[in-house]
C-alpha cells in the first residue's frame, strides 16, 4: 500500500517567510523522482525551483499560480511505494533525500516527462474584449530557450513566466497573439504592444474611463534583450484601477523587499556623501591595452572592483557593519562585493564572493555570470546576500552623479557616473579628457570624513594613474 507524504514549503533561508507560486512543474498524477523540482517560486530575493525530497506519484497540489504561501504550508502530497497506473515504472520508496533547501539537490534533476496539460481557466478583467486567459501551465521556453512543440490544447509558448503573469494580470488571452520570437515565441514586447493597443481602443470607446497602462519602451513587437551596459528600467505591473486617475501597484516580491531595505537604511544609518571628479583617460587606455593583448576581455566594472578592494585594504573601516544592539562596529577580513543591477524584476544586488582574492579576469567572468542570472531571474538567495561593500555603476543610465542609499547593513557604497569627454587641465594645459565623477556614501558611525575622503581620494588616484594600483599588488 502506498504511503502518502506531505511536502511543505521549506525554510527558504535569509529570513524569508513566504513565496509566490510562479509555475507548477508537475501535475497531479505525475511521477516524480527524489530531488526533482516540482514548482518554481518567487521570493523577495530570487526566483528559484523547489525540489521535492520524496519520489512517487503526485496526489495533490496546494495553491494556484500567483498564490502566496507561507513557509511550512503544504505544497504537494506524494504517494510513495506505488506503481503508477500508466505503467511508467515503480516510484521511489518512502525514504526521501532529506533535502528541503531551495535550489539544491542530492542528485542531478532527471529529465522531465512530457505531458499534455489540461486547460485551467483563469478569470481576469478584459483589456480589449479578450476571452478569459487559459492554458496557465508551464511555458514552452524558460530563460529564452525554446521548449517542446505545444499541442492545440496545451499552453501557449512564452519566453518566461513573468510574461505569462503580465498577460494574466491584464486579462489578455495569449492565444490571440502572434509571437515575434523564434518559432512564434511570445516575448514581453509582444504582450506590451497588445496591451497598449487595447488601452488605446478602450480609451477611444470610453474617453473618461481610466485604463491601466502597461509600461515599457518598445514601440513594436520586436525581440530585444537587455545589454550589460544598459539595463532596462524596472516596470512594475499595475493592478486594477482603484479610483479615477489612480493605479495601485502592490509592494511585494522584489519591489517590496527593496522598499523595506531602503526604508530601514534611511531610518538606521546616519549617512554622508563625498564626491570627486577624476580623469579616467589612463584607466580607459590601460583597459584597451589589456584587451588588445589577447585572452578574455576585461570589463571596466572589473577594473573598478579591483580598485575598490585595494582601497578597502587600506581603509578597512568601510568594509564593516554596525551591530546596533551590541553598539559595536564589526569589521570584515574579506570583501564580498555587491554590485547594483537593474532588471525587469526590479533592483537586485548580486554579490561576488571573496572579490579581494580575484583578479580582473575572474571578476569579469563572475560579473557576467551574476548579471545574466539576474536578467533571467535565476539568482539564488545566497547570491543576493552577505555583501560587505557595494559598487554602484549608475553611469550606465547616462547620469554623472548620485547620492545612493547604503545597502543595509553595509557601511558604504561607491558610486560611479558616466565617463565622458570634458575640458580638463592636464600637465598644465587645457585638454579634452575622459572624466568621471566618483561618489562615496558612508555610515558616519564607522568612520569620520577623513577616512572616507582618504578612501575616495585613493580610488580617484588609481583611476587617474592605474600604476598606483601596482603598489598594492
Cα(460)–Cα(452) distance, rounded to whole angstroms? 12
DSSP state of 110: P
Q: Which three cell numbers stand for residue 370?
A: 551574476
Cα(158)–Cα(145) distance, rounded to whole angstroms? 10
Q: Which three cell numbers stand for residue 463?
A: 583611476
Phi, psi at 246, each rounded to 5°: -120, 140
Q: What is the DSSP string of 197-248?
A: HHHHHHHHH-TTS-------S-SS------BTTBPPPP-PPP-S--BTTB--
User: Contact at 8 Å (CB) between 202 and 174?
Assistant: no
CB atoms within 10 A of CB 365: 14
Q: State the catalytic residue, choosing from 173, 408, 444, 461.
A: 444
Is-catalytic flag, 448? yes
Cα(252)–Cα(287) distance, rounded to whole angstroms? 41
Q: Which three cell numbers stand for residue 265?
A: 537604511
Cα(236)–Cα(254) distance, rounded to whole angstroms? 10
Q: State the catalytic residue, choosing from 11, 279, 448, 461.
A: 448
Query: What DSSP element (H or E) covers 375?
Result: helix 360-376
Q: Which three cell numbers stand for residue 366?
A: 563572475
Cα(352)–Cα(367) distance, rounded to whole angstroms? 7
Q: Which residues are bridge partners to 273 per DSSP?
A: 441
Q: Is the peptide bond before 409 cis (omega within 30 degrees of 0)?
A: yes
240-248 own/partner pairs: CB under 8 Å, 24+ apart: 240/125, 240/212, 241/210, 241/211, 241/212, 244/210, 245/210, 246/210, 247/210, 247/212, 247/213
Within its chain, how far is the Cα of 423 from the centroid?
38
Residues identified as active-site:
444, 448
Amino acid at each position: 500500500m502506498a504511503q502518502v507524504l506531505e511536502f511543505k514549503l521549506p525554510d527558504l533561508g535569509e529570513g524569508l517567510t513566504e513565496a509566490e507560486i510562479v509555475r507548477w512543474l508537475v501535475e497531479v498524477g505525475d511521477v516524480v523522482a527524489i530531488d526533482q523540482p516540482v514548482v518554481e517560486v518567487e521570493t523577495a530575493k530570487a526566483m528559484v525551483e523547489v525540489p521535492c525530497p520524496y519520489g512517487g506519484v503526485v496526489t495533490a497540489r496546494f495553491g494556484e499560480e500567483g498564490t502566496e504561501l507561507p513557509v511550512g504550508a503544504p505544497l504537494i502530497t506524494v504517494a510513495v511505494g506505488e506503481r503508477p497506473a500508466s505503467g511508467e515504472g515503480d516510484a521511489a520508496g518512502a525514504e526521501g533525500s532529506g533535502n528541503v533547501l531551495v535550489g539544491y539537490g542530492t542528485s542531478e534533476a532527471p529529465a522531465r516527462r512530457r505531458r499534455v496539460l489540461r486547460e485551467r481557466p483563469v478569470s481576469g478583467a478584459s483589456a480589449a474584449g479578450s476571452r478569459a486567459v487559459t492554458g496557465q501551465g508551464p511555458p514552452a521556453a524558460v530563460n529564452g530557450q525554446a521548449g517542446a512543440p505545444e499541442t492545440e490544447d496545451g499552453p501557449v509558448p512564452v519566453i518566461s513566466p513573468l510574461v505569462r503573469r503580465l498577460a494574466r494580470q491584464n486579462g489578455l488571452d495569449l492565444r490571440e497573439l502572434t509571437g515575434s520570437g523564434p518559432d512564434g515565441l511570445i516575448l514581453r514586447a509582444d504582450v506590451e504592444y497588445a496591451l497598449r493597443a487595447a488601452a488605446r481602443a478602450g480609451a477611444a470607446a470610453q474617453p473618461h474611463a481610466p485604463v491601466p497602462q502597461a509600461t515599457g519602451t518598445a514601440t513594436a513587437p520586436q525581440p530585444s534583450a537587455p545589454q550589460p551596459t544598459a539595463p532596462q528600467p524596472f516596470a512594475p505591473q499595475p493592478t486594477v484601477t482603484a479610483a479615477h486617475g489612480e493605479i495601485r501597484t502592490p509592494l511585494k516580491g522584489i519591489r517590496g523587499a527593496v522598499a523595506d531595505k531602503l526604508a530601514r537604511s534611511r531610518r538606521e544609518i546616519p549617512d554622508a556623501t563625498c564626491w570627486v571628479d577624476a580623469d579616467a583617460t589612463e584607466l580607459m587606455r590601460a583597459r584597451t591595452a589589456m584587451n588588445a593583448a589577447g585572452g578574455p576581455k576585461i570589463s571596466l566594472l572589473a577594473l573598478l572592483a579591483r580598485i575598490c578592494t585595494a582601497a578597502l585594504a587600506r581603509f578597512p573601516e568601510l568594509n564593516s557593519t554596525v551591530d546596533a544592539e551590541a553598539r559595536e562596529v564589526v569589521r570584515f577580513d574579506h570583501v564580498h562585493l555587491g554590485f547594483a543591477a537593474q532588471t525587469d524584476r526590479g533592483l537586485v544586488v548580486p554579490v561576488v564572493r571573496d572579490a579581494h582574492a580575484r583578479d580582473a579576469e575572474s571578476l569579469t567572468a563572475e560579473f557576467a555570470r551574476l548579471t545574466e542570472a539576474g536578467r533571467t531571474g535565476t539568482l539564488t538567495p545566497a547570491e543576493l546576500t552577505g555583501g560587505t561593500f557595494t559598487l554602484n555603476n549608475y553611469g550606465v543610465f547616462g547620469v554623472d552623479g548620485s547620492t545612493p542609499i547604503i545597502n543595509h547593513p553595509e557601511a558604504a557604497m561607491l558610486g560611479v557616473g558616466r565617463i565622458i569627454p570634458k575640458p580638463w587641465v592636464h600637465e598644465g594645459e587645457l585638454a579634452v579628457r575622459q572624466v568621471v565623477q566618483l561618489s562615496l556614501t558612508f555610515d558616519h558611525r564607522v568612520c569620520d570624513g577623513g577616512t572616507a575622503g582618504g578612501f575616495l581620494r585613493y580610488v580617484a588616484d588609481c583611476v587617474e594613474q592605474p600604476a598606483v594600483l601596482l603598489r598594492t599588488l
